[in-house]
Structure formats: C-alpha cells, structure tokens
Amino acid sequence: MRTTVRLDEGLFRAVKQYAATADRTVTSVLEEALRRLLAEVDRQPSIPRPVLPLSTAGGGLLPGVDLDDGAALAELMDERSSR
C-alpha cells in the first residue's frame, strides 16, 4: 500500500541515516518500528477505566448567563470576581 506520512524533519533524517547505515530502505525501517510498537501495545495489560462518581447536586446556570454569548459571559464573570 502506498500512503503519505508527515514526519518531523529531524526524525526523518535520523531514519534515513539509519536505513543507509543498515543497508535498508526507509520503508523497511518504518515498517519494523511500527510492528514493534504495535506488538508492545498488544503485550501491555489494558488498564481498567476508573468509575467516576456522578454529582447529584442540583443547580444550573445563574440567571442572565448565556453560554452562547462569550462576551456577556466574560463580563458577568468579571463582575462576580470584582465583588
């Protein structure tokens, strides 16, 4: 398969130099690196996701708060912080 990948210039230079030194192609070096990474990920035990507590607190928005109006929200926050 042919695809385009964007790499950091320094990383690409290092891969290219390594490939030349090892008498390999850049493609073969990248393929091996990706295979090793994926094999390592497969070996790692999956970490269970923590169960987070849900808030049962009531409430809601304060009167006059419009989350779609950023300027008014910033102004309201400035007013409340200056008190």
Range of the domain at 28: 9-43
Read off the pLDDT band of 76 (50, 70, 90).
confident
User: What single letter denotes the amino acid at residue 17?
Assistant: Q
In a domain, 15, yes or no: yes
In a domain, 49, yes or no: no
Structure tokens at 39: 């094999």
* Number of domains within the chain: 1
In a domain, 36, yes or no: yes
In a domain, 2, yes or no: no
Q: Are 26 and 15 in contact (CB under 8 A)?
A: yes
In a domain, 29, yes or no: yes
Backbone angles phi, psi at 35, to 5 degrees: -60, -45
In a domain, 61, yes or no: no
Read off the pLDDT band of 29 (50, 70, 90).
very high
